[in-house]
């Protein structure tokens, strides 16, 4: 990048820091992208007020009258989800990106993207967002700076991260002791010519979500959608952090963190990895249906896990907000999400708007209003559109809301020490084959279960929905390096020198359907609050008080071990949900083999051993 006349850009010289590497980078970026002005974000309430007012003025936001300090927003119809086919890991060696990531040579990518970035912020404001992933009080705070021309991104970062002045103080003064930070450059890629009117949701047809793992750098272009544009989330906290975690011996995972207290007052913390739109946020805000159990949330999407001095694996949530799937969220399914949203201070993207200034989406309430404005800004009526099954909200519409206002946020959610994890759950969305719950025999078998995790694709990423694919540890789109090395890293974690007590690994599936034998396709298991029954069994297994049966794929609850008191699901459905069908599993084997084969030379031998073992058990 060659600095040009950046010195004349208003705001550039009003930096609230003397951190020279940061100042240099902002100046270079401003010279390249030529914004109209530069704003250094402080994260204050005044800043939120100014920007949300401005977004309302611009027609991007509609202020809701029924929810305090909350806003409705719709995106460009072509910018509604993560773009996995446009996401790149630009490691120096192609082999380091592995078979599951798109790769381009970092220098080539830099050249291509520099041309896209040249002048791309014309007519817009360049916002500088210093942020910290994880608690500000961490011994080694994980810092980043996002440069963006999207005020939507700024206000979303207000919710999702610790940002602004409180983060900037952790950067130091720019001398050689200054802290390292991840450079996150983002543009919606929609420069404005002088006098050109803006659109409510600017974005570009060409999109790039690019990661330079060796340089700890992220370049994103063309999209305003959360997973592509809030760079602290998937790009930093998963793709870049997974590389840092590999190097430093910890784990950066696509997991919720949940605290469970038994009726006897015993506390267990669990983590669970499900692919996008497969139930993390809902489980994270669980309202247990079984009496006496208490659930509290620490995180709904990302867990960073390190061994503590006591040899246990401790998890922290790097985020400060929930970016949750709206459809399906209602008082019956997720009352704690509803309570969180009713407190306000939230941004809704691609849901429907009611005539009286509230939000609505499929599953929000049993009684939809007579009239709505859909996420495509079209009219929608109960009598015609609802009857025809026309959706008012996009299936991947999202709410963005602070964790701090969740009524069941665990008091320790902001503790930099994190919480010791007793059990890890892997799971996916499978209509067949995968039983409600399986316990792994040991760590290696548990890693095998995670490594072969499969799920139907969802609307969280662009592309076909409902196609079964392998999604190791629910990290397929997020591992920032070679997936074979990633799986080896998981195996190594089990042999970690400091490990005294490893979490027990389980595999769950809330989404098995009646249908194989002429059923109607209904879910066999009621899910949501009833999932507490499965968690209870798992915890009783940790405590040695529940029984299990050996099956070829692992341990499943004996019929009496799962607490079904008060459950009104037909017993046959529960039984069908728990079934391990050897025929279905024999059909699954070639799919697992095919997946493991794509990993190539770096496939850990231990996983092949596990596969062989599974085949023997099924024979």
> Which residue has tokens 């078979």?
99
CB of 615 to ligand PGA, least distance (A): 32
CB of 510 to Mn ion, least distance (A): 14
User: Would you call 184 a catalytic residue per the annotation?
Assistant: no
Cα–Cα distance for residue pair 115/282, rounded to 1 Å: 42
Lookup: tokens for 67: 């929810």
Strand order in the sheet with 71-73: 61-63, 71-73, 347-349, 398-402, 321-325
Judged by the rule CB under 5 A, the positions of this chain that interact with Mn ion are: 276, 280-281, 301, 324
Site track 314-333 with ligand PGA (rule: CB under 6 A), x = hit: ---------x-x--------
CB of 325 to ligand GDP, least distance (A): 3
Of 96, 149, 296, 301, the one binding ligand PGA by CB under 6 A: 301
Confirm if 201 and 79 have CB atoms less than 8 A apart: yes
Cα–Cα distance for residue pair 261/269, rounded to 1 Å: 9
CB of 322 to ligand PGA, least distance (A): 8
Give the DSSP letter of residue 312. B
394 binds ligand PGA (CB under 6 A): no
Q: How far is CA 248 from CA 424, 427, 443, 496, in A?
A: 21, 27, 21, 12
Phi-psi map region of 571: left, alpha, beta (phi>0 left; psi -120 to 50 alpha): alpha
Nearer to ligand GDP, 30 or 474 (CB): 474
Site track 241-280 with ligand PGA (rule: CB under 6 A), x = hit: -----------------------------------xx--x
Nearer to Mn ion, 151 or 327 (CB): 327
CB of 378 to ligand PGA, least distance (A): 25
471 binds ligand PGA (CB under 6 A): no
Nearest to 68 by CA among 310, 347, 316, 298: 347
Cα–Cα distance for residue pair 441/505, rounded to 1 Å: 8
Determine if residue 289 is labeled as part of a ligand binding site: no
Cα–Cα distance for residue pair 17/23, rounded to 1 Å: 8
- Cβ–Cβ contacts within 10 Å for residue 46, how many? 8
Nearer to ligand PGA, 284 or 592 (CB): 284
CB of 540 to Mn ion, least distance (A): 27
Determine if residue 388 is labeled as part of a ligand binding site: no
Of these partners, Mn ion, ligand GDP, ligand PGA, none, which one is at the site of residue 402 (CB under 5 to 8 Å by kind)?
none
Determine if residue 412 is labeled as part of a ligand binding site: no
Of 19, 27, 67, 82, the one binding ligand PGA by CB under 6 A: 82
Residues 120, 278, 400, 406: which is the catalytic one? 278
Judged by the rule CB under 6 A, the positions of this chain that interact with ligand GDP are: 274, 276-282, 300, 324-325, 327-328, 333, 510-511, 523, 527-528, 531
> Which residue has tokens 């694709």?
457
Determine if residue 82 is labeled as part of a ligand binding site: yes
Determine if residue 220 is labeled as part of a ligand binding site: no
Rounded to a whole number of angstroms, the distance between the first and last alpha carbons of the chain is 61
Cα–Cα distance for residue pair 176/61, rounded to 1 Å: 42
In 3-state terms, what secondary structure has residue 1? coil
Q: Using alpha carbons only, give the angle 486, 487, 492 rounded to the nearest 5 degrees.
A: 95
Annotated binding site for GTP: 277-282, 398, 429, 528-531
Per the annotation, where are the binding residues for substrate? 82, 225-227, 276, 396-398
Q: Which residues would be at the binding site for ligand PGA (CB under 6 A)? A: 82, 227, 276-277, 280-281, 301, 323, 325, 460
Task: Name the residues annotated as catalytic.
Answer: 278
């Amino acid at each position: 990048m060659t600095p040009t006349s950046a010195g004349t850009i208003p705001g550039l010289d009003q930096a609230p820091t003397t951190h020279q590497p940061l100042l240099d980078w902002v100046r270079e970026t401003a010279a390249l992208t030529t914004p109209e002005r530069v704003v250094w974000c402080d994260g204050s309430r005044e800043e939120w007020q100014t920007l949300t007012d401005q977004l309302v003025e611009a027609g991007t936001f509609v202020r809701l009258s029924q929810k305090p300090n909350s806003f409705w927003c719709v995106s460009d119809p072509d910018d509604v989800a993560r773009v996995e086919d446009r996401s790149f890991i630009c490691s120096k060696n192609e082999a380091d990106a592995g078979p599951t990531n798109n790769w381009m040579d970092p220098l080539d990518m830099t050249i291509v993207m520099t041309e896209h970035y040249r002048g791309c912020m014309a007519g817009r404001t360049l916002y500088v967002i210093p942020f910290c992933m994880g608690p500000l009080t961490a011994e080694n705070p994980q810092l980043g700076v996002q440069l963006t021309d999207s005020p939507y991104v700024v206000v979303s970062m207000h919710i999702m991260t610790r940002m602004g002045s409180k983060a900037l103080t952790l950067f130091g003064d720019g001398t050689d002791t200054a802290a390292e930070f991840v450079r996150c450059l983002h543009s919606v890629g929609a420069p404005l010519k002088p006098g050109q009117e803006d659109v409510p949701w600017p974005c570009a047809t060409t999109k790039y979500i690019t990661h330079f793992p060796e340089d700890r750098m992220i370049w994103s272009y063309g999209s305003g959608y959360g997973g592509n544009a809030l760079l602290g989330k998937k790009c930093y906290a998963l793709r870049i952090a997974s590389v840092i975690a590999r190097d430093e011996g910890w784990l950066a995972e696509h997991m919720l963190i949940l605290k469970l207290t038994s009726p006897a007052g015993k506390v267990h913390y669990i983590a669970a990895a499900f692919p996008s739109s497969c139930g993390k946020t809902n489980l994270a805000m669980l309202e247990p249906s079984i009496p006496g159990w208490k659930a509290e949330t620490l995180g709904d999407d990302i867990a960073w896990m390190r061994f503590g001095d006591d040899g246990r694996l401790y998890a922290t949530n790097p985020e400060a907000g929930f970016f949750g799937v709206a459809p399906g969220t209602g008082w019956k399914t997720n009352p704690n999400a509803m309570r969180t949203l009713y407190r306000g201070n939230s941004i809704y993207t691609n849901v429907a708007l009611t005539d009286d200034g509230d939000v609505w989406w499929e599953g929000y309430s049993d009684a939809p209003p007579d009239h709505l404005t859909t996420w495509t800004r079209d009219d929608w009526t109960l009598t015609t559109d609802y009857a025809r099954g026309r959706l008012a909200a996009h299936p991947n519409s999202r709410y963005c809301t602070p964790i701090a206002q969740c009524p069941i946020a665990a008091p320790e959610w902001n503790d930099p020490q994190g919480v010791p994890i007793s059990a890890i759950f892997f799971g996916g969305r499978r209509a067949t084959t995968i039983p409600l719950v399986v316990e792994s025999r040991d760590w290696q078998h548990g890693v095998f279960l995670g490594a072969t995790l499969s799920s139907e694709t969802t609307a969280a990423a662009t592309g076909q929905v409902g196609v079964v694919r392998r999604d190791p540890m629910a990290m397929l789109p997020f591992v920032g390096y070679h997936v074979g090395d990633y799986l080896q890293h998981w195996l190594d974690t089990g042999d970690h020198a400091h490990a005294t007590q490893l979490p027990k690994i389980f595999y769950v599936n809330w989404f098995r359907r009646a249908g194989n034998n002429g059923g109607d396709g209904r879910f066999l298991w009621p899910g949501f609050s009833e999932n507490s029954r499965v968690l209870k069994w798992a915890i009783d297994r940790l405590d040695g008080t529940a029984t299990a049966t050996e099956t070829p794929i692992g341990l499943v609850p004996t019929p009496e071990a799962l607490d079904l008191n008060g459950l009104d699901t037909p017993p046959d459905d529960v039984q069908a949900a728990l079934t391990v069908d050897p025929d279905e599993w024999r059909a699954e084997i070639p799919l697992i083999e095919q997946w493991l084969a794509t990993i190539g030379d770096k496939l850990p031998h231990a996983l092949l051993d596990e596969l062989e073992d599974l085949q023997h058990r099924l024979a």
